[in-house]
Amino acid sequence: MTQNYTDANIITLEGVEHIRMRPGMYIGRLGNGNNVGDGIYVLLKEVVDNSIDEFSMGFGKQIQINIHNNEVSVRDFGRGIPLDSVVKAVSILNTGGKFDDKAFKKSVGLNGVGTKAVNALSERFYVCSYRDGECSWALFERGVLKESGKDSSKERNGTLVRFYPDSMMFGQFQYNMDYVETMVKNYSYLKRGLTLVLNGTSYKSENGLLDLVNENLSEPPLYPPIHLEGEDIEIVLSHGNSYGENISSFVNGQNTRDGGTHLAAYREAIAKTLKDFFKKNYEPADCRQGIVGAISIQIQEPNFEGQTKTKLGSNYMWEKQVRDEHGQLKLETGDTIRSYVNKFVATELDNYLRIHKELVPIIEEKIKSSQQEREEISGIQKKTRERNKRSNIYNKKLRDCRFHFNDKRTDKTQENIEKSSIFITEGDSASGTITKARDAAFQAVFSLRGKPLNSYKEGRKKVAENEELNLLINALGVEDDLDDLRYNNIVVATDADDDGMHIRMLVLTFFMKYYPDLIRRGHVHILQTPLFRVRNKKENRYCYSPEEKEKAVAELKTGVEITRFKGLGEISPDEFSDFIGENMRLDQVTLAEEESIADIMDFYMGDNTIDRQNFIRANLRSEEELEDINI
């Protein structure tokens, strides 16, 4: 049947309707609060960012944030929204003061969307602006104005926003206060002199990024962190004995978790400056191995990749359209971010090392040690890969997908990148099920043979010689650089039994010890698979906990049949396609900045201590509990 395309098909969405219809365009993702990138945190950030921008312009030294029963309120003491523009500012797209450089400079939010998205995606949204003895307020429900008015007020100037995210959008959501606290702390480190009060607790920093790095060190650094500041730039640098790079990055106070041009410039500048200082052609990876640090820059009108602003796309410190003598528009730009960061680091770090000469041998010894280990491991890995190719093991281990996000030949839209995944599973049965159920365009499967090596108890040489882990590294594409990672999501998919949990811990131990940046960058996940299927003649329900099972039994009522899944191989490919498609439940593996990787691995993978035994007793659900299917 041919679908007619007429004027009736042309739809104009009024107000914030488009945000509700396509929320991903504005906040990146929905989610229920389990992931730090979920939309409810984006809504909070959008409101707080406005208050931060007020402080950056010199207005208001305190921001009060309260979250109770998932309702959020943010009160600042800035200038307040102009009273006649309150409704427009929170409900009409492409409306805001930040298009005017005179009112806001070096702001995070410049696209006129922020609070409109919060309004549109909230069950209740209230805004009140206080200015010079008057206030203007408005109340919305799911983006629709319900009431508004003006009154006299004795409140200090500023803005109050109160909202409750929409359960129609976010489901049964819950704010994780650890995520919120980290966000608030980061704001305080980046805005010295600003006090943020979260549920009655105050956060304020006197030393900026130096406080951030010092308070979040998970192990003693090899030397006191170097703290360098300039106009529109601040960096901190030290080295530790852990693997990988642990660098926090920020733009105009925005935590750019996914990095961008400024972080790439910082990484390049550190390596280049150290090579030039020592006058030796060290590999950049050796200069940065074990690095811990941070960079913050301030730029005019930043261009972020995506509405969630977690990756900087700008190439210049500033750029603007101007008219020449003939009235024609032309683009003028400042320094490139790469050049600006390189010049700053080259000058300031070089000067610092010449003054603090006691640090020089420590840094060079760290570089030489990393170089020696890398060259030794690289040779071992090469021999192992060649042996595996000759035995044709590689093709048996990896069922690849067609899309890789670092492949220049593929359509690298953000949506495609986010979908690319590799499932790490164990055994032919489980890998076979996932292989048949997967989307072969975007989902790959890597099959482990039995339990992998316990990396915690072995040196890197032994790990490099291990066939299974070497093949896994090769499949991920991270032998030389994490930027060569081939999949956005690394998903550990094991059975929900003792062996499955042990295999999961061994895989996570490997990543945590040797590739912690994969975890820090949000790439590593655990697949949730259903423990039970509850069905009657009309409906199937898949339940991920005994509590969900009990609810399903109560709602389906009569003729109920319950199946307990003990392994991935017991679930048919047709059923499994539901669990790794749009409805896939993933638990992101996260590391709090202050958590010590060494301490975590020692607790879970070290000697069997009383503390660990008590933890297991308190948290492990017994097999008898899972088997008990009676209500």
499: domain CATH number?
3.40.50.670
Tokens 């805005």 belong to which residue?
191
Which residues lie across from 163 on neighbouring strands? 72, 125
Q: Are residues 228 and 360 in the same domain?
A: yes
Residue 21 reports pLDDT greater than 80:
no
Q: Are residues 395 and 367 in the same domain?
A: no
Rounded-to-integer distance, Cα 450 and Cα 470, Å? 15
Indicate whether 384 belongs to any domain.
no
Rounded-to-integer distance, Cα 586 and Cα 522, Å? 12
pLDDT digits (tens, 9 = 90+) for 278-299: 999 999 989 999 899 999 998 8
Element (H, E) at 282: none
Model pLDDT, residue 446: 92
Determine whether 261 is exposed, middle or buried from the number of CB atoms within 10 Å of its CB (0-12, 13-18, 19+): buried
Model pLDDT, residue 11: 43
Domain boundary among 144, 177, 203: 203
Rounded-to-integer distance, Cα 260 and Cα 251, Å? 10
Token representation of residue 533: 């299927």
Confidence of residue 8 (pLDDT cuts 50, 70, 90): low
Tokens 């304020």 belong to which residue?
204
pLDDT digits (tens, 9 = 90+) for 89-146: 888 765 444 434 443 444 544 444 578 889 889 999 999 999 989 999 999 998 888 9
Residue that wins the pLDDT comparison between 617 and 145: 145
Model pLDDT, residue 236: 95
Element (H, E) at 15: none
Indicate whether 141 belongs to any domain.
yes
Q: Are residues 72 and 157 in the same domain?
A: yes
- pTM (2 decimals)? 0.73
Model pLDDT, residue 85: 84
Indicate whether 515 belongs to any domain.
yes
Q: Are residues 368 and 225 in the same domain?
A: yes
Q: Are residues 112 and 181 in the same domain?
A: yes
* Average pLDDT of the residues of the chain: 81
Q: Are residues 302 and 213 in the same domain?
A: yes
Model pLDDT, residue 404: 82
Q: Are residues 524 and 619 in the same domain?
A: no
Element (H, E) at 604: helix 597-605
Average pLDDT over residues 154-177: 90
Query: Structurally, how many domains does the chain consist of?
Result: 4
Q: Are residues 459 and 512 in the same domain?
A: yes
Indicate whether 8 belongs to any domain.
no
Model pLDDT, residue 375: 85
Give one DSSP letter per residue of 19-67, joined into a string. HHH-THHHHS----SSSTTSHHHHHHHHHHHHHHHHHHTT--SEEEEEE
Indicate whether 319 belongs to any domain.
yes
Q: Are residues 574 and 606 in the same domain?
A: no
Residue 558 reports pLDDT greater than 70:
yes
Indicate whether 378 belongs to any domain.
no
Indicate whether 86 belongs to any domain.
yes
Segments forming the whole domain that contains residue 366: 209-372
Model pLDDT, residue 17: 74
Confidence of residue 617 (pLDDT cuts 50, 70, 90): low
The total number of residues written for the chain in this structure: 631
Fill in the amino acid letter for 59: F
Share of the chain above pLDDT 90, in %: 26
Model pLDDT, residue 3: 52
Q: Are residues 359 and 229 in the same domain?
A: yes
Confidence of residue 575 (pLDDT cuts 50, 70, 90): confident
Q: At what angle do helices 177-190 and 39-56 cross, to 10 degrees?
A: 20
User: Is residue 216 within 8 Å of 237, Cβ to Cβ?
Assistant: no
Residue 68 reports pLDDT greater than 90:
yes
Alpha carbon separation from 544 to 38, 431, 476, 534, 580 (Å, rounded): 21, 20, 29, 11, 14
Lowest mean pLDDT among 461-465, 537-541, 589-593, 610-614: 610-614
Residue 6 reports pLDDT greater than 60:
no
Residue that wins the pLDDT comparison between 259 and 103: 259
Indicate whether 1 belongs to any domain.
no
Rounded-to-integer distance, Cα 285 and Cα 283, Å? 5
pLDDT digits (tens, 9 = 90+) for 519-549: 888 899 998 888 888 988 888 888 888 888 8
Domain boundary among 167, 188, 203: 203
User: Is residue 219 within 8 Å of 195, Cβ to Cβ?
Assistant: no
Average pLDDT over residues 442-458: 84
Q: Are residues 330 and 455 in the same domain?
A: no
> What's the CATH code of the domain at 38?
3.30.565.10
> What's the CATH code of the domain at 306?
3.30.230.10
Lowest mean pLDDT among 60-74, 121-135, 375-389: 375-389
Q: Are residues 190 and 242 in the same domain?
A: no
The single-letter DSSP state of residue 511 is H
Residue that wins the pLDDT comparison between 189 and 450: 189
Tokens 């960079």 belong to which residue?
295
